[in-house]
Amino acid sequence: MQTERVTHGWSGSVREFLDTPESLVELALQDHISGLFGHGASLSQSDAWKEEIGLVKQVFRNLSISRRDALDWSVIFEYELPLEGGRRPDVIVLGPGKLIVLEFKQDISISRAAVDQVSAYARDLSEYHSQTHDLEVIPVLVPTKARDLNIQTENVFAISPDLIAATFDGLSVGHEIDLDTWIDGEYAPLPTLIAAAKMIFRNERLPAIKRAESLGVGRAVAALEKIAKDARDNSYRSMAFVSGVPGAGKTLVGLQFVHQESSENVNAVFLSGNGPLVDVLRGALKSSVFVKDLHGFIKTHGLTNKIPKQHIIVFDEAQRAWDSTHMNNMNRVPFSEPELLVAIGERIESWATLVGLIGQGQEINTGEEAGISGWADALNASDSDSQWKVFTPPRFAHEFNGLSIEEIPELDLTKSLRSRKAEDLHQWVENVLEGNVSSAALDAMKMSRADFNIFITRDLLLATEYIHSRYEDSETARYGILASAKDKSLPEFDIANGFMETKKVKYRDWYNNAKGEPNSCTNLESPMTEFGCQGLELDMAIVAWGDDFLWDGGKWDLRKMRTRFPQKDPHTLRKNSYRVLLTRSRDGLVIFVPPLEKFDFTEMVLLASGAKPLTRTIPLSNAV
């Protein structure tokens, strides 16, 4: 019998489904939507449900004639993916050892967005649902106006309603899947950084925490706790570094460590020189107590004798700390930020633990080129009697010769916490930026097979139409336009990436505001530059390529530009800017290359590197 469940609209065996009047199934779906969103379904949604229910009934009436075992299969309508902002596959069929995701589109053609939508449902259920890990998951797109259609495009089957029963008839025999057991399974996607920060500071258990811990986040936090405790118990000063690949959870480690160590007796603070990240985190947490601006903290405590109350200071992107030349240019202070933070730590009474989170290839500003060596220089230059112990991942040990160091492998996060399907994105970006075209193409092929697609288009309207359609079923999806701050061509295409325009963008609104609200990234109105997106992430980004970094037919060419202060390595800074822009996405990536002749070679090298042309529909010639 159908029982009331909050996770979906209707479920039961195929036998129960065939015995239930269509009107009762539709009523259950209406009630579910009302409970989910606080309002009834639209007329178009009701019409779509009527069509789907009728089609699925006809499929199983026909199938049960040849396969009596199909009556014991299960059907789930409108299963809500927990923590996914209302994303709901139309129909899930628990078949013979297989899970089939059916997504219906009232269309005769196969749209690119629809293929990616149903593919993402299958991917996420396979990856995040505990009772689906060992099942074969089959994504099926059903264009309801089509006939005599049964093809496969990438990993998705596109089948017209008249051929679904025949297709299901050919499924191999497998074990029966218990409906209640499957529905009670845990669905645990890893949340975005902002969502994770909210949960940490509400003392909530993070979804997918097992995955996070298996990839080292928990071990890194435990190692930092041990380092801080030993420094406190034995009254000395420690400096620890946590490194990791993009998306490995360095910021998550820092936030979790700060939160766990904050108490009446021990205060901890999370510092970041990334102003947008600070603003977005403060907006999300509705607090400025734990997260503070690095440069402001240094001005308050490094340029005065004021001693901070915190004994534990965590600073994000430690390799980007300003060198002495840039500090002198900006503040007329002849000391680097590492030198000032070391001096601050030495003035804290009794003990202190400083923790630097180190990214890779994230230096994008003038004055950030010194990298981790700036911290070693600061510690070596210290003339204080304070005893410093350095705890570092093994690969950075050589940077601290002459100091008291201990190598801690747990402080090196080597795997991305983003979707397993996106783990190779940073390697693809590295190969593209280094001009390793053939290697990049292999990376892209590997990602595409795992449902992480990289698209390229010269049509911005097509890109925005695609991404709106791709996430039409999600109220909380985060997507937006990213663009280089140094480009001069994009304003011609209404991408206002200039300094004065982007200065008006409120970061916390851009990242946190819901779909349709003013200034939300999902409106695709205002772009975010590398300076505004570093350390943050989107479900999918449209990266607008700029004329500041173009392929000349054999290498990447940097457009000469005037800067306020001299740059030691302008080519690396520009390359790293595109590294940041291209590695913000969790689900996939769309690259917009302006339709100007000077961008032609850039389009060619990106296509050669495995990016796929974006199309509105899937040409049948591409299907098998």
Output the CA torsion sign for 573, 578, 584, 586: negative
Residue 361: the pLDDT is: 47
Percentage with pLDDT > 70 across the chain: 85
Decide whether 193-413 matches 420-617 in CATH topology.
Answer: yes
Residue 135 has pLDDT above 80, yes or no: yes
Name residue 427's amino acid.
Q
The string of pLDDT tens digits covering residues 293-331 is 887 888 888 888 889 889 999 988 777 676 777 666 666
β-sheet bridge partners, residue 613 = 456
Q: How would you class 71 by CB atoms within 10 Å of its CB: exposed for 0-12, middle for 13-18, buried for 19 or more?
A: middle
Please write down the HEC assignment for all residues of 57-115: HHHHHHHHHHCHHHHHCEEEECCCCCCCCCCCCCEEEECCCEEEEEEEECCCCCEHHHH
Residue 51: the pLDDT is: 93
Higher-pLDDT residue of 255 and 551 is 551
Residue 134 CB coordination number (10 Å): 9
Rg of the chain's alpha carbons, rounded to an integer?
27
Residue 110: the pLDDT is: 92
Are β-strands 91-94 and 74-77 bridged in parallel, bridged antiparallel, or unpaired? antiparallel
Domain boundaries, the chain: 10-183, 193-413, 420-617
Residue 444: the pLDDT is: 94
Residue 419: the pLDDT is: 56
Task: Please state, in angstroms and rounded to a whole number, the distance separating the CA atoms of residues 221 and 254.
Answer: 8
Higher-pLDDT residue of 187 and 524 is 524
| DSSP one-letter code for 127 | H
CB 193 within 8 A of CB 534: no
The string of pLDDT tens digits covering residues 423-452 is 688 889 999 999 999 999 999 999 988 888
Task: Please state, in angstroms and rounded to a whole number, the distance separating the CA atoms of residues 135 and 126.
Answer: 8
Instruction: Give the predicted TM-score (pTM) of the model.
Output: 0.76
Task: Please state, in angstroms and rounded to a whole number, the distance separating the CA atoms of residues 352 and 232.
Answer: 7
CB 292 within 8 A of CB 230: no
Residue 562: the pLDDT is: 56
131 by DSSP, 3-state: which? coil
Residue 165 has pLDDT above 90, yes or no: yes
Output the CA torsion sign for 266, 271, 277, 282: positive
Task: For the domain made up of 10-183, give the CATH fold.
Answer: Trna Endonuclease; Chain: A, domain 1 (3.40.1350)
Q: Which of 188-192, 429-433, 560-564, 570-574 has the lowest mean pLDDT?
A: 560-564
| DSSP one-letter code for 286 | T
CB 75 within 8 A of CB 11: yes
361 by DSSP, 3-state: which? coil
Task: Please state, in angstroms and rounded to a whole number, the distance separating the CA atoms of residues 379 and 388.
Answer: 8
Indicate the Cα dihedral angle 269, 275, 281, 286, nearest 10°: 90
The string of pLDDT tens digits covering residues 531-569 is 888 878 899 999 999 999 999 999 999 766 555 544 556
Please check whether the domain covering 420-617 is classified as CATH 3.30.420: no
Q: How would you class 476 by CB atoms within 10 Å of its CB: exposed for 0-12, middle for 13-18, buried for 19 or more?
A: middle
First to last CA, the chain: 40
Residues near 311 by Cβ (< 8 Å), separated by ≥ 6?
A: 228, 232, 266, 267, 268, 348, 350, 351, 352, 353
pLDDT mean across residues, the chain: 85
Task: Please state, in angstroms and rounded to a whole number, the distance separating the CA atoms of residues 45 and 397.
Answer: 60
Q: In the predicted model, what is the mean pLDDT of residues 85-108?
A: 92
| The length of the chain, given as a count of residues | 624
Residue 621 has pLDDT above 80, yes or no: no
Residue 602 has pLDDT above 70, yes or no: yes
CB 327 within 8 A of CB 367: yes
Task: Please state, in angstroms and rounded to a whole number, the distance separating the CA atoms of residues 70 and 14.
Answer: 7
Higher-pLDDT residue of 386 and 613 is 613
Output the six-digit token pair for 455.
């698209």
Single out the residue of 354, 358, 407, 410 nearest to residue 379, CA to CA. Answer: 354
Most confident of 2-11, 335-344, 394-403, 491-500: 491-500
Residues near 136 by Cβ (< 8 Å), separated by ≥ 6?
A: 97, 98, 99
Which CATH number applies to 193-413? 3.40.50
382 by DSSP, 3-state: which? coil
